[in-house]
Amino acid sequence: MTGKKNVSIKDVALRANVSTATVSHVINGTRFVSNETKQKVHFAMNELNFRINSVARSLRSRKSYIIAFLAPILASETSNFYFMSVAAGVQSVLKQRGYHLVLSDSSDNIEVENKEISMFDSQMIDGLIVAPASRDCDYELLFGDYPVVYIDRVPNDCERDSVLIDNKTATKEAIQKILDKGHQRIAFLSGPLSVTTTIERYEGYSETLMSAGLNLDDSLICFGDVSFESGYRNMGDLLERNPTAIFVTDNVMAMGAMAYLQDHSIRIPDQLAVVGFDDFLWTRVTHPPLTVIQQPSFQLGVKTAEVILQRIEDGTSGKQEYRLNANIIVRQSL
Amino acid sequence: MTGKKNVSIKDVALRANVSTATVSHVINGTRFVSNETKQKVHFAMNELNFRINSVARSLRSRKSYIIAFLAPILASETSNFYFMSVAAGVQSVLKQRGYHLVLSDSSDNIEVENKEISMFDSQMIDGLIVAPASRDCDYELLFGDYPVVYIDRVPNDCERDSVLIDNKTATKEAIQKILDKGHQRIAFLSGPLSVTTTIERYEGYSETLMSAGLNLDDSLICFGDVSFESGYRNMGDLLERNPTAIFVTDNVMAMGAMAYLQDHSIRIPDQLAVVGFDDFLWTRVTHPPLTVIQQPSFQLGVKTAEVILQRIEDGTSGKQEYRLNANIIVRQSL
DNA sequence: TTTATTGGAGTAAACGATTACTTACAGTAT
DNA sequence: ATACTGTAAGTAATCGTTTACTCCAATAAA
């Protein structure tokens, strides 16, 4: 297409008067080569401006040094940046170990997700990190012959390693803190129950209320879409039930909720106490700054990358579950 | 490593009693194959659970369907999500056209950037989209034999296509709007002048002030780091020079600045009018909501993806410059 | 002197697809 | 009967590496 013929290891070998094996071994340091010969090879490589063809290398060595990360990352301009932060963590480890990260967006949609997975033919990737769009999907059939690690959430029939946040414990602590402030009517606003994170948070909420001797009031509980608009709208609806506090399990929904409260001049925390999820910078510029559960998103990525690299390099598989703790950052909204 | 031998086109051919050529042509639809034979091949593929090896395919066909995006994306937990939004735009087009996106983080650091570029050996990627860390770098030497498109910024010796925002015009409009409100002491807070975006914005600022007959007051102008903390700190310093308005050219710095103003109970816009950059959701939850220049970040990605795919598919090269307009979103902070 | 050992480097078969070229056969025109 | 045409599919070279073997010469051991 470009007309330029590629310089191969063969050309280098010819130029340096050595064999292709020698060139390869010089490049990879895989066997002893005398300094003299090394020099010749390096010289030839420079002269010809040789660049190794990593595709050919992958084909032969059956290793691509590419890891795919499949999550609802890029859905839209208004989407949650949580997984971006996670991706940053993954990336930081991979880069250090000489791997590349391929990002893939599932849009939190099973069809899209399945199509993406089937696009990762065997040999193309060395491993897959996935935040499953739903618990109800038989992923095992789809995966190729590479290690898979679930991140943030797991499907029902989890047969793989997983790296998760201890959502339940964190939520329990948060709700307890709200209770300690004397609140009884605590609203719960979250995304749908189709992912395990939401379920765990809901369990944390309900179990804490119940063990405090309170009844669950369904009208104070809302499972909406994960979006700013949904947060805004549902905040309005929930307010009519006269809660004195609200717990929002999603960052973007919390933004929407906060926008509603600001637009309607609701005083926080006097009229309504608010606790959100994820400690992104914006939570420091609301009025007042938001109390949140801080998920170690970057660390989640780091841990996951370490787990999958371990599996890749060991050649083992398993279904270890790792849980990372989330902390509460107390600011003025509670 | 796993012990499982891979099913190849050869195995399928054997099973279906046809040649590898036929199997290949069935897979790719590259020549007529009778229905009967097609059936046999599909049947064999299913039975053997055949998955094409895209690495081998790439090697032979010299096409990987991978595009790399190199930008300061994942620098840290507190980094700017602007490029993530851009990446989303790129991704949306690529996915649709059957390409994969590889994200690479430059950390806005020339050394890191160069290392990343040299990692993209020829043949590994079909194209590169890059937001250069600095204007002063001779990128041409580094690039391999693939199309390159600059995004958001360009280096001094730009020899490639570029897709940019019309920063100068947008900034001029914003400053003019601020002037129209009667402000004379307008502070300017931005990142370093090492990238063209900043330069263009600064030019927009200074030219507008000067053509309004005002002198530039250096003490009202600050080029700091691009970070929340820098925004916070420099906001404090600038306030001592008694501006009545401030223009912040970076989203994260603006967050820091807003946090400072809130912590010190500065009334916006009475005591200080504020105009920021980038219309992310958080700008709607500050008190009051922020007036900003809205960069079409997603669209920037879309356009860039289209440009590079065009180059890839045409096999041409060039140095066309595309500029996208940015709009001002007026809210209560001005 | 013969044999073993070792250091340094070459030969060529993979890896799994794509694709230019060839072939086989059937039908048709001469 | 012969040549020609067209249809369907097979053969094998090729992409650029890696790597299991092999090889040769020089030195050490016998």
Share in percent of chain B as helix, strand, coil (round to 5): 45, 15, 40
CB-nearest to A2 from B92, B102, B315 is B315
Chain CA centroid to CA A143, Å: 18
Among the residue ranges A105-109, A121-125, A272-276, the one predicted with the least confidence is A121-125
Query: At what angle are helices B35-48 and B9-16 packed, to 10 degrees?
Result: 120
CA/C1' separation B17–D12 (Å) = 18
Please classify residue A242 by burial: count the beta carbons closer than 10 Å to its beta carbon, then call 0-12 exposed, 13-18 middle and 19+ buried.
exposed
Q: What is the pLDDT of residue B305?
A: 98
Establish if A330 touches chain B: CB-CB under 8 angstroms. Answer: no
CB-nearest to A91 from B62, B74, B81 is B74
- Cα distance between residue B224 and residue B202, in whole Å: 13
CATH topology identical between B66-165+298-324 and B167-294: yes
Using the predicted structure, report yes or no on whether residue B63 has a pLDDT greater than 60: yes
CA/C1' separation B18–C24 (Å) = 15
**Contact assignment for B59 to A62 by CB distance below 8 Å:** no
Task: pLDDT band for B323, please (50, 70, 90 cuts).
Answer: very high
Measured between beta carbons, which residues in chain B are less than 8 angstroms from residue A54?
121, 123-124
Measured between beta carbons, which residues in chain A are less than 8 angstroms from residue B115?
none
B127: number of Cβ within 10 Å: 22
Locate B128 and state its tokens. Answer: 């590169």
Using the predicted structure, report yes or no on whether residue A78 has a pLDDT greater than 70: no
- pLDDT tens, position by position, A312-333: 999 999 999 999 999 999 999 9
Chain CA centroid to CA A116, Å: 16
A46: number of Cβ within 10 Å: 10
In this structure, whether the domain defined by A66-165+298-325 belongs to CATH 3.40.50.300 is answered with no
At B189, phi and psi to the nearest 5? -120, 125
Task: pLDDT band for A75, please (50, 70, 90 cuts).
Answer: low
- pLDDT tens, position by position, B235-281: 999 999 999 999 999 999 999 999 999 999 999 999 999 999 999 89
Q: What is the pLDDT of residue B112?
A: 87
Measured between beta carbons, which residues in chain A are less than 8 angstroms from residue B276?
none
Among the residue ranges A9-13, A76-80, B303-307, B326-330, the one predicted with the least confidence is A76-80
- Cα distance between residue A297 and residue A326, in whole Å: 9
Residues by CB within 7 Å of nucleic chain D, which ones? Answer: A 5-10, 20-21, 23-25, 27-28, 30, 50-53, 56-57, 59-61; B 17-22, 31-34, 36-37, 56, 59-60, 62, 123
The mean pLDDT value for B123-128 works out to: 88
Using the predicted structure, report yes or no on whether residue A3 has a pLDDT greater than 50: no
- Reduced to 3 states (helix: H, G, I; strand: E, B; else coil), residue A248 is strand
Q: How does the average pLDDT of chain B come out, rounded?
A: 93
Task: pLDDT band for A85, please (50, 70, 90 cuts).
Answer: confident
Establish if B137 touches chain A: CB-CB under 8 angstroms. Answer: no
The architecture in CATH of the region A9-52 reads Orthogonal Bundle (1.10)
Residue spans of the domains in chain A: they are 9-52, 66-165+298-325, 167-294
Establish if B235 touches chain A: CB-CB under 8 angstroms. Answer: no
Query: For residue A54, which nucleotide's C1' is closest to its Cα?
Result: D17
User: Which residue in B300, B59, B231 sits closest to A6, CA to CA?
Assistant: B59
Using the predicted structure, report yes or no on whether residue A210 has a pLDDT greater than 50: yes
User: Which residue in B291, B277, B292, B273 sits closest to B181, CA to CA?
Assistant: B273
In this structure, whether the domain defined by B66-165+298-324 belongs to CATH 3.40.50.300 is answered with no
Query: For residue A32, which nucleotide's C1' is closest to its Cα?
Result: C8
Peptide bond just before A288 cis, omega within 30 deg: yes
Q: Span A167-294: which CATH code? A: 3.40.50.2300
CA/C1' separation A22–C2 (Å) = 32
